Amino acid sequence: FFLLPSLKLENETKGKLQKQICQVVLDHFEKQYTRELGDKWTSVRDVLTYPLCWQYAILLNKFSPSAELESTLRAKGYHPVFQGTLPYLPRSLKCYVNRTPGRFPAQKHQTGKLKEYYLMNAASVLPVLALEVEDGEDVLDLCAAPGGKSVAILQCAYPGNFHCNEYDDLRSRWLKQTMESFIPDPLVNLITVSKLDGRQIGDLKPELYDKVLVDAPCSNDRSWLFSSDIQQATLRLIQRKELSSLQLQLLRSAIKALRPGGSLVYSTCTLSKAENSDVINLILNTCANVIPVDISEMAKAVSQEFTFLSDTQQHELLVLPEKGKAWGPMYVAKLKKI
């Protein structure tokens, strides 16, 4: 029996990928998400546990435009993921996707040379579209590393004051490098990159921003499933219960940092109800100065490309990965300060 080299390689890769799934995490998810998502969990699990069907979107960098790159993408069957009538879709934001899985080659970091594109999960652009940043607005990206959403914000508009914050030292260095790779010098100098504790920013900078993005630290379902260290995975699952309290503190801080009339988008890359709608509901029930903002029109406009959990409220959405649309998980909620 003779296997074609490519098929043989694919089978070996499959073996490697299958072996790496962390059973402890999968068992935990199995219990929780069967309860929370019902039948939908089976198809989501099939995508999350099988990286060969994962997809990557290509966010073009308007500061380093390449007509050649766009024609190459179209020739390879890529199409713009956001088309048609979205409530907010700046013409300068260009993000391409392909129906088939596979990964476009990443560009290496070269000092002094801007990258032409950023590889990301297409669902990661949804919080940025929900934020609706306009030119001249003061914007805070509270938990900004590795920087993809900050880069996406800058593809949409030129904020007056753009503050990107990342508390973790290693991730903060990663954020800085991302900014240097995508944003030209004059503009990079106008961006504040800080390493403050996000829970304290509201007290340090009260009512300073028109828009705040809280892309909160969360239990990252995709990467946790492939934890190679069982002890670390077990510890993560124990600490998982504490994440919602951190998320609440970050949100309260973000609300303080917002000007009245300003809006806030909260996002995570987990399916977990405790870190998503439970957190937002608690904020809405305990903060008299915030109200929910309907984002259902945005969800409707992109329903061709993304699969959403159906029974969410109008101010929130949850992207469920499925084969051929392997985007997410991504939870997005929008609030306004009054």
Q: Using CA atoms, how far apart are residues 76 and 68, in angstroms rounded to an integer?
A: 12
- Cβ-count burial of 188 within 10 angstroms (0-12 exposed, 13-18 middle, 19+ buried)? middle
Q: Using CA atoms, how far apart are residues 109 and 184, in angstroms rounded to an integer?
A: 14
Q: What are phi and psi of 184, to 5 degrees?
A: -65, 155
Detail the residues annotated as belonging to a binding site: 143-149, 166, 197, 215
Contact residues for 213 (Cβ-Cβ < 8 A; gap 6+)? 127, 128, 131, 139, 140, 141, 142, 149, 153, 264, 265, 267
Tell me which residue of 197, 205, 207, 188 sits closest to 150, measured CA to CA: 188
Detail the residues annotated as belonging to a binding site for S-adenosyl-L-methionine: 143-149, 166, 197, 215
- The DSSP H or E segment spanning 301 is helix 296-301
User: Are the CB atoms for 319 and 330 separated by under 8 Å?
Assistant: yes
User: Are the CB atoms for 77 and 98 separated by under 8 Å?
Assistant: yes
3-state secondary structure 16-28: HHHHHCCHHHHHH
Q: Active-site residue numbers?
A: 269
The one-letter code for the residue type at 197 is D
**CA distances from residue 38 to 30, 323, 325 in whole angstroms, order as listed:** 10, 18, 19
